[in-house]
Structure 1
């Protein structure tokens, strides 16, 4: 068994294909948490902890809406990769139009129901009135960029599926550099506070969308076909995409519920604790976005192999991405263990928040070794458009986590993080078990 795995690892052509997609995405993905770091550093140096807590709460609520629609990226990637693998240019265009139309409809619904959504999100937070007021302002401003943010999801997923990682690299870099520069201008220069951080994000999303649309044509030329606008707007023939998106939506809502509970449980322990947890979540963002670069490569190449019914290529890509992901996760463990304290000091100069974050640093230092599996497995299942399995395993992990979270209420922030890491381990365990069963019973790769 060892020799075949080693043979797959030594395949230089496969290594080049993986890194051709993964490296630009890792570099661009790292810019996403860098925005969070800049947000946290800029807001964290204001005069009170509630400013940082407000950005944490407001951005969590917006991220809940945004990542609840993460199916727009994930579902698009799998179908686009399979369309490219089979050389179907018409299907590639139809998937793009249908996903963007869904993004527009979702944005309209979010705007329509923004008030009850916001009231529900803030209802369970036992925080200061100043924090809640600032969080409300942040969320309402960020909603202006929701259509652009969702369309960016679609374009990034579509380009990854087409094995073009350079455009997502350029888009994400544009979004995040704009965000960081405007953070400094609006928050530090113009003293706009939390609202300045929100407007910086809005401008970044809009510029990223314009760039992505401008760079569509070269990829479309590689796969000749025609745009059937009428069929796409009626969503005719979109049942597979809608079905996958439905299951990914349920899966993502369950995941976002866990993140929301992390914020709520921290908020119940005080403004300093919720601010410290906001600082520590940046460690998770750095890890997840870097490792997602390799997971995206697995999505694109795995989906392409599935479209060609090429089992050997799928195994080769899976071996290469798994080994590199494990090595990268170990780098993060070492970096956080020895450099985590310095990063905390860079992010905030509030003594109480620093002390709280340092106290719970151990949890995010070991987190990469637990979370790496879920990122890889998500990439594998997204490339195969197997959203039902992702949904069911996520719900099973949530069902196990909720009683644990309830039992640990009031036990302190260490137990909040313990519960969160337990959930992340469970979702990896359940999804990995499902894949092993499908593979051993020859249900993963359809026959030629």
Structure 2
């Protein structure tokens, strides 16, 4: 059968992508609400949220294999018609999340403020970040349970329930955040507490979903070891991301509170649009994994091409949208004139890179679905070392500010796009089998 004949219907892609979009958009949308609420407390609390939020993301994002690795493994098993084994992958990922999360929660109480001071220097910004982070990281086990739940449900092509669970948890947080920050007078700490309450609700719902499946709940070290094997490459890939993003936040914080606050606003918008673009990538991940699990390389390649085109068009649309709202959207997050004056130095880089991001995130999803984590690891590290990191630290040395930081991000994305397109053209990512470990090259 031809590759065109193996294309999936747009309805199928959207049926997976739209609920995934809701899940992916919910967290950054909540962070945008949080940023808007805290932003009216002043530059220092907003800069503290920027630094604390970045550190929280650094910690949780290092465990993204609980989502993406689990999806890759469950999608292949689901495609091979082995649902019970697919759900069992989710159980073991949940155990891993609980164990790692408890350790992180305890560690945060000791090192949150010292790490913040290391990045921003001693002072009110570091103090605010440390306080927020100690509270927020109490929810680390809850966040990782939710990540594992999203992973196995995406793998079995169920993106509706994760949307429902995420909206419930984040909806409660969004309602509580302004109440705890202002009427109850908790300030920045109130935003962290609201976040923690929402995480508790979402994690409880994902645990309930596993119980309903009646999958074996006993820890299985063999499955966890296999997950950790793939997780190693994904952790190294994510570490490259986080070194870059943390460096950018650190440079912005060392430049000044206004620069850090402006970077926080544009950065959170970047995270929001990145995850929105990733909704199509999640559809590709699930569909590609299932196709390879069932032995169909043509279908996997057709999905890869199809979703990449969809995502490119979507990225162009986002560029047009953010251009249109450039005069009004920044003032939603802060009324500080100095912060608003800094924002254009990052804004137009953010707009220009949207189409590139569309291609990059789509192909990320394709290769994650195929379990091609080793290539993604290497390509990301090389792009970071060659493109992003040098420009970030040169920006600090030569006073280039946000323009230098965001030039680095743009170069990073272009380099990633080139490496991913080369891999897609080679076809070496497409191997079949219910597990990639037992698969042979197509």
Partners of 1:376 and 1:398 in 2: CA distance: 19
**Contact 1:301-1:317 within 8 A present in 2 as well:** yes
Q: Structure 2 length normalisation: TM-score? A: 0.92
Q: Matched residues in 1 for 2:268 and 2:16: separation?
A: 24
Alpha carbons 1:14, 1:317 under 8 Å: kept: no
Gaps of 5+ in 2: 433-439
Q: CA–CA distance in 2 between the matches of 1:240 and 1:381? A: 18
Query: Following the alignment from structure 2 to structure 1, what is the Cα–Cα distance between the partners of residues 79 and 431?
Result: 17
Which residue number in structure 2 is paired with residue 429 of structure 1? 418
Q: Does 1:315 align with 2:322?
A: no
> Which region of structure 1 is more displaced relative to structure 2, 91-100 or 284-293?
91-100
- In the other structure, the counterpart of 1:417 is 406
Higher mean alpha-carbon deviation, 280-289 vs 196-205, is at: 280-289
**Aligned counterpart, 1:25:** 20
TM (normalized to structure 1)?
Answer: 0.90
In the aligned structure 2, how far is the partner of 1:353 from the partner of 1:442?
45
Separation in 2 of the partners of 1:234 and 1:305?
Answer: 27
Deviation at 1:190, TM superposition (A): 1.4
CA contact (8 A) 2:262 2:343 kept: yes
Q: Do the aligned residues in 1 keep the contact of 2:315 with 2:356 (CA within 8 Å)?
A: no
Report the 3-state secondary structure (helix = DSSP H, G, I; strand = E; otherwise coil) of the residue aligned with 1:342.
coil
Counterpart in the other structure of 1:389: 375
Q: CA deviation at 1:216?
A: 3.9
Q: 1:38 aligns with which of 33, 37, 55?
A: 33
1:271-315: CA deviation from partner (whole Å, max 9, x where unpaired) = 000000001112212211211110100010110001001123223
2:390 aligned to which of 385, 395, 403: 403
Tell me, yes or no, if the aligned pair for 2:120 and 2:126 is still in contact at 8 Å.
no
Q: Which runs of 5+ in 1 are unaligned?
A: none
CA-atom RMSD in angstroms: 2.2
Equivalent residue pairs, number: 431
The CA deviation at 1:117 is: 4.4
Q: Secondary structure at the match of 2:157?
A: coil
Higher mean alpha-carbon deviation, 67-76 vs 118-127, is at: 118-127
Name the SS for the 1:294 alignment partner: helix
Residues 41, 442 of structure 1: CA spacing in aligned structure 2 closer, same or farther, 3 A cutoff? closer
How far off its partner does 1:30 sit? 2.1
Pairing 1:274-423 to 2, within 5 Å after superposition = 274-401=260-387, 402-409=389-396, 410-413=398-401, 414-423=403-412
Once residues 194 and 256 of structure 2 are traced to their aligned partners in structure 1, the CA distance between those partners, rounded to angstroms, is 28
SS at match of 1:341: coil
* Counterpart in the other structure of 1:146: 140
